[in-house]
Amino acid sequence: MGLKFLQDAEEQERDFLMLPDDFSFAMLPPGTKSGTLKELGMLASTIETIDYALVSWVKEDLDLSAKTNKGPLRVPVLWQAPERSYQIKNEKDLRDDSGALKLPLISIERTNIAKDPAKKGAFQAQLFSDKYDGRSGRVVLAKRIKQDKTRNFAVATGTRTNSGGKPQQYFPRTNKKIVIQSLSIPIPVYVNIDYKIVIKTEYQQQMNELMTPFIARTGQINSFVMRRNGHLYEAFIEQNFTHNNNVASLGEDTRIFSTDITIRVLGYLIGEGENDDRPIVRIDENIVEVTYPTEQAVFPGDTTFTASTLKTLFGDDSIEDEDRQDSFDASDYVRSS
């Protein structure tokens, strides 16, 4: 039997600090407290969430800087390569007067997404929806007893009539009608996402400074954990760092040192994003009692009724002798009606 350890207090506090202040996008059911998702640390996990986690890891966790002619400089981290016209107008600091990018520079690009059933995470089973529509089901995260509704059933079950003919409430009896609330989310769907990190510098010393943290930060292993909105994604750094330098060509082009680093992320998706017609978080209650009204049907030639019963069923005042116990054939009355 395995032991389940909780996160350290510092790690939990760090996860909570990474959560946004506004939870309106989480599609909580009406009437749910705003702090519920923050306490659980469970929000929707999309492809954009994984992208943001990697960019945040490179930007904030590594916090790379390099020596330049103007002293130590924090290296900009770009998501892919923005359009040149947009960059010139809105991010003028990234380019010089001639329009060329200022180095050193780091860019991140997502190169591949694979849904490989052989490389699934901790949640292995496939659950189908209870709607029998072929869609994926949900996994229950937490349960609690709905105290007010359970108390109502307990009071109703523990009510009896004493010898004086008065109802006596709260008589001790075993209450088996317990209402339980269940909080569920869609099952996680695991994906393998490949990213390419490109480091470009003008000098070999800058390349050495920027490339070293990717090698040494994880120690003797090549894996690390990324965090975003309470989610944890495991990432793996490929062992080969590809150099694409042009210093050996001896041409007239600007000397550039370029290194490609490939990172593979084992991520998971919860929900279908903006196109999901189902809520991310759903709260359900179990069924403890099924009640339904009873009806009587009159079938010709099958049953006999007294006069009072027929008057009650059909509401016909023409039937007299209410106190008589004589029997009438239902089929005769149906035909006469």
* Eight-class DSSP state of 130: T
CB-CB contact of 238 with 263 (8 Å): yes
Coil, strand or helix: which one is 122? Answer: coil
pLDDT of residue 291: 82
What are 91's two structure tokens? 């991010």
pLDDT at 170: 76
Angle at the Cα of 165 from the Cα atoms of 159 and 170, rounded to 5 degrees = 20
Residue linked to tokens 């930007």? 59
C-alpha–C-alpha distance, residues 101 and 8, integer Å: 43
CA distance 139 to 293: 35
Closest CA to 259 of 281, 241, 271: 241
Q: Which of 263, 252, 254, 279 is nearest to 195 (CA)?
A: 263
Structure confidence at residue 328 (pLDDT)? 44
SS3 call for 117: helix
Burial class (CB in 10 A: 0-12, 13-18, 19+), 227: middle
Which residue bears the tokens 């239902």? Answer: 330
Show pLDDT as tens, one digit a residue, over the chain (337 residues).
Answer: 333 333 344 443 444 444 445 555 454 556 655 555 544 445 778 899 999 999 999 999 999 999 888 888 899 898 876 665 555 566 666 666 666 677 888 999 999 999 988 877 777 777 787 777 778 888 887 788 888 888 888 888 877 777 777 777 777 888 888 999 888 888 888 999 999 999 999 889 999 999 999 999 999 999 999 988 778 899 999 999 998 887 776 666 677 889 999 999 999 998 887 788 877 778 888 888 888 877 766 555 555 555 556 555 555 555 555 444 444 444 444 444 4
Domains of the chain by residue range? 9-122+187-285, 138-183, 304-336
Q: Which two tokens stand for residue 318?
A: 């023409």
The DSSP result for 27-96, as a single string, is -PPTT--TTHHHHHT---B-HHHHHHHHHHIIIIII--EEEETTEEEEPPEEES---HHHHHHH-GGGB-
Q: Nearest-CA neighbor of 144 among 281, 29, 288, 286?
A: 286
Domain 9-122+187-285 has CATH 3.40.50.1100: no
Q: What is the pLDDT of residue 51?
A: 93
Q: Using the 8-state DSSP alphabet, how is residue 302 labeled?
A: T
* 78 neighbors 174 (Cβ within 8 angstroms): no
